[in-house]
Amino acid sequence: MSLAYQIVKDLAPLARHFASPDYDQSIEYLQGILPFQVHVFGAQDQHNGWVIPPKYSVKKALIIKDGQVIYDGKKHALGVVCHSLPFKGKVDLDTLKQHLWFDQRFEDAIPYHFRNSYRPWNRDWGFCVPRSFYDSLEEGEYEIDLDIEEGEPELKVLDYHIPGKSDLEFVFVAHLDHPGMANDDVAGCAVGVELFQWLASQNPKYSYRLLLVQEIIGSQYYLNSYKGNVHEGLFLEMLGVDVALSVQHSLNGGSLMETTLQDTFQWLGLEQRFTGFRELAGNDEIVFETHGIPMPSLIRFPYPEYHTNLDNISIIHKEKLNEALDVCKHVVNRLESEIYIRKRFSGLLCLSNPDYNLYVDPGQPAFGNTDAVPLRRLMEHMSLMDQGDFLGRLCDRFGLEQKDALEYLRRWEELGLVDIYD
């Protein structure tokens, strides 16, 4: 059994609310595989209007009629609205129905209701039930026994960093929350964990980071406190079902990660399924983009069981997890083959000065001498470049052969003006 499949099988049934005992259990489980650092945020860490909900555990969740339990919300992790308020008392049918949620697409599925987790200032009590149960309810009095244990607000983000020879960093991200579901997104977490277990033995040139977060809010809190050298990222989402892999582009497109994914799909003979930013689904990529970090997504979507209890281990395919893992490994290997040029100066250099002697004469058409134009464009770009770029992209941009560009840039390196990671 593959590691990724085993992780999904073990963690999917747990009630992985943002802050819950089952979330903590999931953290301990994953720390047994990789030495994750855990970043803990609390009530004092409010940021940009985001508020961490209280620690949360459902102790009892019963709907009773005529002395008989007709619904037990603890039988599935989705049976109670996420971060529901407690409630104990008697209600009539109309009142009860105001606190019941069902999925109109299915007769017997339990939906995922998550709004309370993102709006802890406006919570209510409630159950998530099958539509068949909702439709079967009759007039009368119902007793509700919804016992919720709460604690101090708490958010835990898992962070595993593999330092390379360069501190230039690529980040892979997935979200560990979504109680009781398998593909969304324990499958993404599982592929990330198996990828990094392999990557830890590779002695990489670049640095890599795996973040397992609570969707949106975990990334927001983490990026507000972490100041690193993340260059680009890839979000791993819903990778276990029998749906073709797609890539959602980053906000502006054209990142090295996206180019590498296109080459990887072609190399592995996969259908070229590329969509615009957040066209299929929206996740934490929007948070990273607001911090200037390009974040395409590797995703399998849509699938009919999405956001219901039908998203369970029965719809997870080992070969689909393995295929996504192969894509990610190939991407890493391609990234490792790239040569990165890091800039170590600021301002405009007088490159004709003998201290530098890096000036490239543009030539003049009147004298029949324009061969140096592509190299001249690279020379001008070096002062305009932000922090650095990859040699392959620079060569594609300016129409240069890599050997010619690298020979020229070695002269910059000898003067301490750039670092070259090859």
Q: pLDDT for 286-314, tens place per residue?
A: 999 999 999 999 999 999 999 999 999 99
Q: Is the pLDDT of residue 367 over 60?
A: no
Ranked by mean pLDDT, which of 166-170, 301-305, 367-371 comes out on top? Answer: 301-305
Q: Would you give the distance in Å from CA 147 to the centre of its chain? A: 33
Residue 422 has a pLDDT of 87
Q: Is the pLDDT of residue 366 over 70?
A: no
Q: Is the pLDDT of residue 143 over 90?
A: yes
Residue 46 has a pLDDT of 79
Residue 372 has a pLDDT of 64
Residue 227 has a pLDDT of 72
Residue 208, beta-bridge partner list: 162, 170
Region of poorest pLDDT, from 1-5, 144-148, 262-266, 287-291 = 1-5
Query: What are the domain boundaries of the chain?
Result: 3-51+154-337, 55-149, 340-421
Q: Where residue 104 falls among pLDDT bands split at 50, 70, 90? A: very high
What's the whole-number mean pLDDT along residues 161-183?
Answer: 96
Residue 374 has a pLDDT of 87
Average pLDDT, the chain: 94
Which superfamily does 3-51+154-337 belong to? Zn peptidases (3.40.630.10)
Q: Is the pLDDT of residue 365 over 90?
A: no
What's the whole-number mean pLDDT along residues 370-389?
Answer: 85
What's the whole-number mean pLDDT along residues 394-399?
Answer: 92
Question: Concatenated DSSP letters for 82-139?
Answer: TTPPPEEEEEEHHHHHTTEE--TT-SSPPB---HHHH-GGG----EE--HHHHHH--S
Tell me the CATH class for 55-149. Answer: alpha beta
**Residue 332, phi then psi, degrees to nearest 5:** -60, -45
